[in-house]
Amino acid sequence: MSTSADALIRRLDSVENRPDAVELRALSYDLLHPRPGPASGPVVDVGCGTGRAVAELAGRGVRAVGVDLDERMIAAARRRWPGADLRVADALALPFEDGELAGYRADKVLHDLAEPERALAEARRALAPGGRAVLVGQDWDGLLIDSGLPALTRTIVHARADLVRHPRAGRAQRGLLLDGGFEDVTVEVRTQVLTGAAVLPIVLDAVEACRTAGAVTGAEAGAWADDQRERARTGRLCVAVPFFVTAATRP
């Protein structure tokens, strides 16, 4: 596996092991209303990454299947969870028959799609009547970063959001599900608060992406990065990330 893929997996692990991330995943599992046992239809985790949610759902007795378009992630997931049902597949072309699924879960996926409504149309096709769809998505425009340079921080947050294919997919999830013909749509927001030096690479990557895109100058990026490094050094780095958790039923 490439160095960049290894780095991504390490970063995913550091975030997914946090107590608030564990709690957020558990909420998404509960909202699926899963029925354990072999008689129930499978639940798919779309964009499964290294397969943690698949393994955790299986631990609840759920028939879980993980799909991801990234072959490197699926390879890593298979090494971590031998025997799990993990497949290379596209969110726009799920490897399931019409009405086969009891549940559909997509965690931090829709923002990476140019047309998230197509993914939800595919979810509706594959879900059985009464099947549940649960979406978890961060709001890239709503990222909150403590900084001594607030005006520049606003520029960086919005510029970084503009580099995402669909940065406001999280707040749009309710409307997307309603437009896709789903019923009983509920939505809530959970906020993850990240502190400590482990968060520093995340904010530095954000400002570097903005500098590369020309949204800020090198001098601005340097000053902002220096402020964040000092905050990390003194234990004052603080980032809040709002996540929309949206659930619905396929009629």
Entry pTM: 0.92
Q: Which has the closest alpha carbon to 124: 168, 79, 183?
A: 183
Query: And the tokens for 54?
Result: 């698949």
CB 240 within 8 A of CB 193: yes
Q: Per residue in 146-169, pLDDT tens?
A: 999 999 999 999 999 999 999 999
Return the CATH fold of 3-249: Rossmann fold (3.40.50)
Q: Per residue in 198-244, pLDDT tens?
A: 889 999 999 999 999 999 999 999 999 999 999 999 999 999 999 99
Mean pLDDT of 173-178: 98
Alpha-carbon gap, residue 44 to 53, rounded angstroms: 10
Listed in sequence order, the residues at least 6 apart from 230 whose beta carbon sits closer than 8 Å to its beta carbon are none
CB 94 within 8 A of CB 66: no
Cα-based distances in Å from 149 to 154, 197, 220, 227? 9, 19, 10, 8
Q: Per residue in 87-143, pLDDT tens?
A: 999 999 999 999 999 999 999 999 999 899 999 999 999 999 999 999 999 999 999
Classify residue 114 as left (phi > 0), alpha (psi -120 to 50) or beta: alpha
Cα-based distances in Å from 87 to 34, 48, 127? 21, 9, 18
Sign of CA dihedral 130, 136, 142, 144: positive
Q: Per residue in 40-92, pLDDT tens?
A: 799 999 999 999 999 999 999 999 999 999 999 999 999 999 999 999 999 99
Say what the pLDDT of residue 8 is. Answer: 63
